[in-house]
Amino acid sequence: MSEIGIIGSGNIGSTVARLAVDAGHDVVVANSRGPASLADLVGRLGPRARAGTVEEAAAARDLVVLTIPLGRVRDLPPDLLAGKVVVDTCNYYPERDGDTAELDSHELTTSELVQRHFPGARVVKAFNNIFAANLGVLQRPAGSPERTTLLTAGDDEDAERVVAAFLDSLGYDVLDTGSLADSWRFQRDQPAYAGAYTEDGDPERPRRTTGEDLLALLERADRSVR
């Protein structure tokens, strides 16, 4: 049994929380509005879940999932996640997050930007390229031939192993795509982005996606797109 902190209670955060509870993990969920705003969510999740402050979620023993708008990352203290294995789900939407020169120029990937803000964290990119509705239904038990594969990227091998084990427990196979610098290949608007887990890009029509499928999509990545 692991203790997972989840900072952000939107669609992805809520879905990861449910999958984690279903897999036998304890979760601490936090958002910017405070624990009282999470009463309904943790009530639905059951006794393995509790609402906490952002600091309490960040202090979770085994893993922290950071799932907030990218533009809000800079609002968090840089030392908040020091020493923690952090799953970064963030995507860049300038119309929501504001323009970021380092991303527009391709100097950094989104996860490198997160890593730069939290220099003491051990950041692994995951969950950013799948619709929450699909993430919540494509999980399968270990050994199932119908398992779907999720993508990860990171610069810390031990952290990547921790995250891969977590994703496996949720019901997914894992394809390690390389470093945070390479993770642009499954950022927004790339072929391996959210539509990869759907029929014809329709979130209401999820489909099993294999590592081979994703490798083919990664090969088509074009950094000039974003």
> Residue 110: which domain range?
69-225
**Domain for residue 50, yes or no?**
no
**Domain for residue 129, yes or no?**
yes
Q: Chain-wide mean pLDDT for the chain?
A: 97
pLDDT digits (tens, 9 = 90+) for 112-122: 999 999 999 99
pLDDT digits (tens, 9 = 90+) for 80-106: 999 999 999 999 999 999 999 999 999
What CA–CA distance (Å, rounded) separates 18 from 67? 14
Please state the rounded mean pLDDT for residues 19-45. Answer: 98
User: For residue 224, what pLDDT band results from cuts at 50, 70 and 90?
Assistant: confident
**Domain for residue 79, yes or no?**
yes
Domain total in the chain: 1
**Domain for residue 80, yes or no?**
yes
Least confident of 1-5, 85-89, 186-190: 1-5
pLDDT of residue 225: 77
**Domain for residue 26, yes or no?**
no
Residues facing residue 202 across a β-bridge: 199
64: left (phi over 0), alpha (psi -120 to 50) or beta: beta
**Domain for residue 24, yes or no?**
no
- The CATH number covering residue 172 comes to 3.40.50.720
What CA–CA distance (Å, rounded) separates 163 from 157? 10
Give the end-to-end CA distance of the chain in Å, rounded to a whole number. Answer: 39
pLDDT digits (tens, 9 = 90+) for 130-185: 999 999 999 999 999 999 999 999 999 999 999 999 999 999 999 999 999 999 99
**Domain for residue 184, yes or no?**
yes
Instruction: Quote the Cα angle for 145-146-150, to 5°.
Output: 110
pLDDT of residue 1: 64
Whole-prediction pTM: 0.97
Residues in CB range of 158: below 8 A, 6 or more apart: 122
Whether 226 has a pLDDT exceeding 70, the answer reads no
pLDDT digits (tens, 9 = 90+) for 33-80: 999 999 999 999 999 999 999 999 999 999 999 999 999 999 999 999
**Domain for residue 214, yes or no?**
yes
